[in-house]
Amino acid sequence: MKPGHPVIDVLDFISRNAEQRGETPLSAFSRISDLLPAQVLPVGDADSAGAVDGLVRWSVRGERTQHGKRYLHLEVSARPILICQRCMRPFVYEVESVVPLEVVTHQAALDEDSEIDDPDMDAPDRILAQASQSVLELVEDELILSLPYIPRHDYACVQYDNQETPEGTDKKPSPFAALAALKKQ
């Protein structure tokens, strides 16, 4: 077992109610690194610069419920830089993920219907218990799942914010402004 690349025996981990946590560079996750743009912000984006540390913080905790169900509770937080698909600028996306993974001991149980009484609750994802499960693989799966399909700035895009438009006015460009621009050429 390499330091920084923890591997757990899932059933043993759960029976001990064990917990592990760590910080791992985002760049150490090769599958997600392939999906991400360069992890740099434009020069001068001081607002967001402090939030980017290139780290993934994670923890995993084992639990066996009174009803005999086994869980790994996974927490993942990170601030990857994504490209906004509206303005095509990089921005910091906040991942704060807390998920239970139900651990099953045989393949067939992966597909069984879940017995959850509350119809509003999503059934947790299931994983098969492994004797040597890479924790970072679970963390990376969760990271990938928590990235938006179409990344976009939360509110207005940066370029709109930077326009010298007084607060509260209609930010749509006037059609006359476009005409004026044409005339200047």
Among 33, 86, 95, 124, binds Zn ion (CB under 5 A): 86
- Type of residue numbered 68: G
Scan residues 99-158 and list those touching Zn ion (CB under 5 A). 153, 157
Number of residues that bind Zn ion (CB under 5 A): 5
Is there a contact between 70 and 63 (Cβ–Cβ < 8 Å)?
yes
Q: Pick between residue 29 and residue 91 the one whose CB is nearest to Zn ion.
A: 91
| Min CB(151)–Zn ion separation in Å | 9
Q: Pick between residue 13 and residue 93 the one whose CB is nearest to Zn ion.
A: 93
Query: Cα 13 from chain centroid?
Result: 24
Q: Which two tokens stand for residue 65?
A: 């419920």
Q: Pick between residue 64 and residue 89 the one whose CB is nearest to Zn ion.
A: 89
Q: Pick between residue 43 and residue 88 the one whose CB is nearest to Zn ion.
A: 88
| Min CB(87)–Zn ion separation in Å | 3
The stretch among 32-40, 87-95, 101-109, 127-135 that binds Zn ion (CB under 5 A) is: 87-95
Q: Does 84 bind Zn ion (CB under 5 A)?
A: yes
Is there a contact between 125 and 101 (Cβ–Cβ < 8 Å)?
yes
The stretch among 33-41, 77-85, 101-109, 123-131 that binds Zn ion (CB under 5 A) is: 77-85
Q: Pick between residue 7 and residue 87 the one whose CB is nearest to Zn ion.
A: 87
Residue with tokens 């937080």: 77
Question: Applying CB under 5 A, which residues contact Zn ion?
Answer: 84, 86-87, 153, 157
